């Protein structure tokens, strides 16, 4: 009787332990994601306490709003197509050729991806905006938006497609060449079909990023170019039309859901078993004149695409009426008396750093609990739990911020006037990244190490402390660093919930750019450089503690 009850008690203990571990992540997602998004759906469908489809009907029938929806769709498709065309040669070169400086270039192409969108927008304003370095004002043109999206998403294609391309067996294409196929035909009929899952994955990510683009469109699009994200912001912050903004958010949620569904089905159909080879068997030193020209041309192109905008941003932050100098940087420390900011720029920097630290702690605690449940579990319930935790990744930050604005306004959840609402929103945005960093590390732990420790008499707590914790802690530091970087650059959600007297660097930059004057513009440039440097320092921290490929894109 006693032996029969022990398994039951052990099973009950496991269930209770799982419930305790899952309680905080589930509560966080329920309160700060499901409830705000549900409030958007309710506000859009039941604006006055009764069902009223008129806001949705207006979105579908109003020519101006339909134009916004159409522009959102086609600019994302165009950005995806151009990014693929531009980045695939770079993916090939970096995955197939060994040359001096390749590792540095491979790491450098990822820099734009981790930059705050506000910094990217400001960099392209400095390059091709009013009084830009190119001498041509492209603000408001689709070309500047496409250029910025290619800059921002180039690394997605290079790292996603190149990661697979560098392990494909080269003998398959060589066999096609021996059988009479030209280089182009061999690539089209042999290599591209094998790369379709990776190309599909990269295209889906780029399309999703461009479809939900906010900071880039807001800064570069001008009044003639608006996506659903920008229109939601305009209807909320400027026109105070919350029912229509909610209806627009519903349309965007449906669009994102369709994108993710199409991607999942595409991956399921296109996934094939591959005979992957070690990268050392695929890579080679460029030997012919054509190969050397190909490598050189791609390296020059990468440098022009990825570094010229940032170099121009730095140069414009130093260009003053009297020549090059640090006048704008000194103005950042002189308070807000001569700017449109309600707080001093140094205060905005302190706020951003404080919110980033709080976000890192919250995301590490909540994400660590969730990652432990997903990493150690293998049941169907665990898979559903993992999918639930990934939902914020497929939801735009603007939708998150708008949901916070209309839902967290009563009782114990009346947080709209509390500064803590900002790191809570940032934590929600960063949480999927922390989980995705920590789960692979947890699953990589050899269970035989735990078994050996238990055999030697260590209890479960000591086994976890001595075996798992030293390994998982490293991934936890990487996840916390990612969360801090996300917080530093988060702009979409923050614009809805930030208060005038408690602002962050991205919002302060946007406020400076929204007002005329050389001083305001120069300070925005200087503040963007500061934000870029702070984010780079955080990512260097991530790279310092990253183990192997854990935490790499």
Give the highest mean pLDDT range of 119-128, 156-165, 383-392: 119-128
| Average pLDDT for 94-113 | 78
Please state, in angstroms and rounded to a whole number, the distance separating the CA atoms of residues 342 and 500.
6
pLDDT surpassing 60 at residue 336:
no
| Average pLDDT for 12-34 | 77
Q: Chain-wide mean pLDDT for the chain?
A: 78
> Hey, what are 437's tokens?
């960093």
- Looking only at Cα atoms, what is the longest distance across the chain? 90
| pLDDT-wise least confident of 102-106, 115-119, 249-253, 451-455 | 451-455
pLDDT surpassing 50 at residue 551:
no
Please state, in angstroms and rounded to a whole number, the distance separating the CA atoms of residues 525 and 547.
35
> Hey, what are 205's tokens?
């990510």
Please state, in angstroms and rounded to a whole number, the distance separating the CA atoms of residues 496 and 106.
36
**pLDDT on residue 278:** 57
Q: How do 323-324 and 319-320 pair as beta strands? A: antiparallel
| Average pLDDT for 108-121 | 79
pLDDT surpassing 70 at residue 458:
no
Looking at per-residue pLDDT, the higher value among 425 and 245 belongs to 425
pTM of the predicted protein model: 0.78
pLDDT surpassing 70 at residue 98:
yes
Task: Give pLDDT tens digits for 222-250.
Answer: 777 888 888 888 887 777 787 888 888 88
pLDDT surpassing 70 at residue 544:
no
Number of helices (H), then strands (E), in the chain: 27, 2
**pLDDT on residue 54:** 77
**pLDDT on residue 341:** 58
| pLDDT-wise least confident of 185-189, 204-208, 291-295, 498-502 | 185-189
**pLDDT on residue 355:** 92
433: CB partners within 8 A, 6+ apart: 393, 479, 482, 483, 486
| Average pLDDT for 303-332 | 84
pLDDT surpassing 80 at residue 461:
no
| pLDDT-wise least confident of 112-126, 355-369, 434-448 | 434-448
pLDDT surpassing 50 at residue 1:
no
- State the DSSP H helix or E strand holding residue 398, giving kind and residue range, or none if neither: helix 397-407
Q: What is the DSSP letter of 493?
A: T
**pLDDT on residue 272:** 53
| pLDDT-wise least confident of 141-155, 167-181, 353-367 | 167-181
Contact (CB, 8 A) for 387 and 439: no
**pLDDT on residue 249:** 82
φ, ψ dihedrals at 97, nearest 5°:
-125, 140
pLDDT surpassing 60 at residue 107:
yes
| Average pLDDT for 71-84 | 91
How many Cβ atoms are within 10 Å of 197's Cβ, its own excluded? 20
Q: How confident is the model at residue 354 (pLDDT cuts 50, 70, 90)?
A: very high
| Average pLDDT for 465-485 | 76
Q: How confident is the model at residue 542 (pLDDT cuts 50, 70, 90)?
A: low
**pLDDT on residue 423:** 92
**pLDDT on residue 50:** 76
Please state, in angstroms and rounded to a whole number, the distance separating the CA atoms of residues 439 and 517.
49
pLDDT more than 90, % of the chain: 5
Distance between the two ends of the chain, CA-based, in angstroms? 54
pLDDT surpassing 70 at residue 188:
no
| Average pLDDT for 28-37 | 88
Domains of the chain: 53-316 (1.10.3720.10), 325-553 (1.10.3720.10)
pLDDT surpassing 70 at residue 420:
yes
Contact (CB, 8 A) for 65 and 56: no
Q: How confident is the model at residue 397 (pLDDT cuts 50, 70, 90)?
A: confident
Task: Give pLDDT tens digits for 138-169.
Answer: 888 889 899 999 998 888 888 778 777 776 76
Q: Is 222 left (phi over 0), alpha (psi -120 to 50) or beta?
A: left
Task: Give pLDDT tens digits for 339-348.
Answer: 555 567 778 8
Contact (CB, 8 A) for 117 and 152: yes
**pLDDT on residue 550:** 45
Q: How confident is the model at residue 463 (pLDDT cuts 50, 70, 90)?
A: low
pLDDT surpassing 60 at residue 260:
yes
Sign of CA dihedral 353, 356, 358, 364: negative
Q: How confident is the model at residue 265 (pLDDT cuts 50, 70, 90)?
A: low
């Amino acid at each position: 009787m006693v032996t029969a009850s022990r398994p039951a008690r052990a099973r009950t203990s496991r269930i209770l332990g799982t419930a305790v571990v899952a309680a905080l992540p589930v509560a966080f997602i329920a309160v700060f994601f499901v409830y705000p998004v549900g409030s958007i759906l309710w506000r859009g469908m039941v604006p006055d306490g009764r069902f009223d489809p008129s806001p949705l009907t207006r979105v579908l029938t109003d020519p101006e709003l339909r134009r916004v929806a159409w522009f959102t769709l086609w600019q994302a498709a165009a950005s995806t197509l151009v990014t693929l065309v531009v980045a695939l040669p770079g993916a090939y070169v970096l995955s197939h050729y060994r040359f001096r400086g390749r590792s540095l270039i491979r790491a450098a192409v990822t820099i734009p991806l981790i930059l705050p969108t506000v910094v990217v927008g400001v960099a392209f304003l400095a390059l091709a905006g009013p009084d830009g370095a190119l001498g041509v004002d492209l603000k408001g043109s689709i070309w500047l938006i496409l250029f910025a999206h290619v800059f921002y998403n180039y690394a997605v294609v290079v790292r996603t497609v190149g990661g697979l391309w560098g392990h494909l067996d080269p003998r398959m294409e060589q066999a096609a060449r021996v059988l009479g196929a030209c280089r182009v035909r061999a690539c089209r009929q042999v290599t591209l079909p094998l790369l379709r899952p990776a190309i599909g994955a990269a295209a889906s990510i780029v399309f999703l990023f461009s479809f939900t683009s906010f900071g880039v469109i807001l800064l570069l699009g001008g009044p003639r170019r608006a996506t659903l994200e920008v229109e939601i912001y305009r209807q909320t912050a400027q026109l105070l039309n919350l029912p229509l903004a909610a209806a627009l958010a519903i349309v965007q949620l449906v669009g994102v859901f369709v994108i993710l569904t199409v991607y999942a089905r595409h991956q399921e159909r296109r996934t094939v078993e591959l005979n992957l080879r070690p990268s050392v068997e695929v890579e080679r030193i460029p030997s012919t004149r054509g190969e050397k020209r190909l490598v050189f041309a791609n390296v020059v192109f990468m440098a022009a695409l990825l570094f010229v905008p940032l170099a121009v941003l730095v140069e414009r932050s130093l260009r003053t009426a009297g020549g090059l100098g640090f006048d704008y940087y000194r103005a950042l420390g002189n308070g807000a008396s001569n700017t449109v900011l309600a707080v001093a720029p140094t205060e905005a920097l302190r706020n951003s750093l404080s919110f980033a630290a709080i976000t890192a702690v919250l995301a590490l605690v909540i994400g660590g609990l969730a990652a432990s449940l997903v990493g150690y579990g293998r049941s169907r319930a665990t898979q559903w739990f993992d999918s639930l935790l990934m939902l914020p990744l497929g939801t735009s930050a603007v939708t998150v911020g708008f949901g916070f604005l209309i839902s967290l306004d009563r009782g114990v959840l009346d947080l709209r006037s509390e500064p803590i609402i900002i790191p809570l929103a940032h934590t929600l945005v960063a949480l999927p990244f922390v989980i995705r960093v920590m789960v692979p590390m947890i699953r990589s732990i050899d269970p035989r190490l735990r078994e050996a420790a238990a055999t030697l008499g260590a209890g479960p707590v000591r086994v976890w402390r001595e075996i798992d914790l030293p390994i998982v802690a490293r991934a936890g530091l990487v996840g916390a660093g990612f969360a801090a970087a996300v917080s530093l650059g988060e702009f979409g959600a923050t614009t809805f919930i930030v208060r005038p007297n408690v602002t962050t660097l991205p919002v302060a930059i946007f406020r400076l750019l929204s007002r005329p004057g050389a001083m305001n513009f120069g300070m925005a440039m200087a503040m963007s450089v500061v934000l870029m440097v702070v984010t780079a320092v955080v990512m260097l921290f991530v790279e310092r503690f990253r183990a192997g490929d854990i935490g790499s894109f």
